[in-house]
Amino acid sequence: MKIVFFGTPQFAVPTLEKLLNHTEFEVLGVVTQPDKRRGRGNKLIPSSVKVLAAAHNLPVWQSEKIKKDTETLTQLQQLAADVFIVAAYGQILSKKILKIPKLGCINVHGSILPKYRGAAPIQWCLYNGEQETGITTILMDVGMDTGDMLLKAITPINLLDNAQILAERLATLGADLLIETLYQFEKQEIQPIPQDNDAATYASLIQKQDYNLDWSKSAIQLHNQIRGFYPNCITTFRDQALKITATVPIYSAYIHQLQLELQEKIHNIPDLSTISSQPGEVVSIVKGMGAIVQTGEGLLLLREVQLTGKRPQSGWDFVNGTRLNVREVMGNS
């Protein structure tokens, strides 16, 4: 089976690796987003998929707008591919592009469709406190993740999973599911299933304001926001920006979901329910762990933070480094 692969970030790399490691598939080339300027030196950095493609001496196309790049589209047509595989490419494919491969275009999408169609399914499923997610392979159409479903694979979401951890797990799951999809698809053993549009939800692009923490929200809402939009959620501390990158909600309903060692430490925290405090206020400091902050409902342990211009540090190192005091208040950014 002759394949052209469309993908950009690290999430797509395991899928491309799997295709390259199976002799039944021939990857003819890769389409990825243009190099981006990043870092202090403002250097052009290639996408993770481009790096892998270069290591295998694959042809690479990097169109600013693939739908309008007639030269690239002509070259893709000349390849006579059987199928285009799309995994987190970052651009919408036109009807003309979808018709190029003989068997169609298959997308590896990071949610259990029809829930979380769109650009950021992993982040928003964490934000909304979902307890499971997965991968759906679909036969693409011109809509945003609206094509007929082929296969699904499901994975549980753990309480302390963040977007990076979950994306790594889903990337591996997606790579395996794609291979199984191609085997069955080629043999015509899959019956594509239309999505229920009435059950669809959307995972829009994350905006800068989504990172701002509002301490009047509940502890579990803040925890889900912090892990969903990892590592970018921000508050203020002593009039400076402070990123909160890892937390634990101090709720009895969630304690059993933690590792045993962490469960024991949480159980040893004194009863703080009688303390009268405002949202954002530090109500306790737990030795070896960090600060506990009052929220609109419940308490939140700060496990990892990052001060402006500094590297991420444990909650306990933050307490020691800043000489944090009980009754100090985190502000809304």
> Phi and psi for 81 in degrees, rounded to 5?
-70, 150
Q: How far apart are CA 310 and CA 176, in angstroms?
A: 38
Residue with the two structure tokens 């493609």: 53
Neighbours of 274 (CB within 10 A): 6
User: Which stretch of DSSP H or E encloses residue 318?
Assistant: helix 315-322
114 annotated as belonging to a binding site for a ligand: yes
46 annotated as belonging to a binding site for a ligand: no
CA atoms within 13 A on the CB side of 20: 17
Residue with the two structure tokens 């803040």: 222
111 annotated as belonging to a binding site for a ligand: yes
> Phi and psi for 284 in degrees, rounded to 5?
-160, 155
Determine contact, residues 75/61, Cβ cutoff 8 Å.
yes
Q: What is the spatial order of strands in the sheet that 2-7 belongs to?
A: 60-61, 26-31, 2-7, 83-87, 105-109, 132-139, 148-156
300 annotated as belonging to a binding site for a ligand: no
Q: How far apart are CA 247 and CA 319, in angstroms?
A: 14
Could you list the residues known to form a binding site for (6S)-5,6,7,8-tetrahydrofolate, using ranges: 111-114
Could you list the residues known to form a binding site, using ranges: 111-114
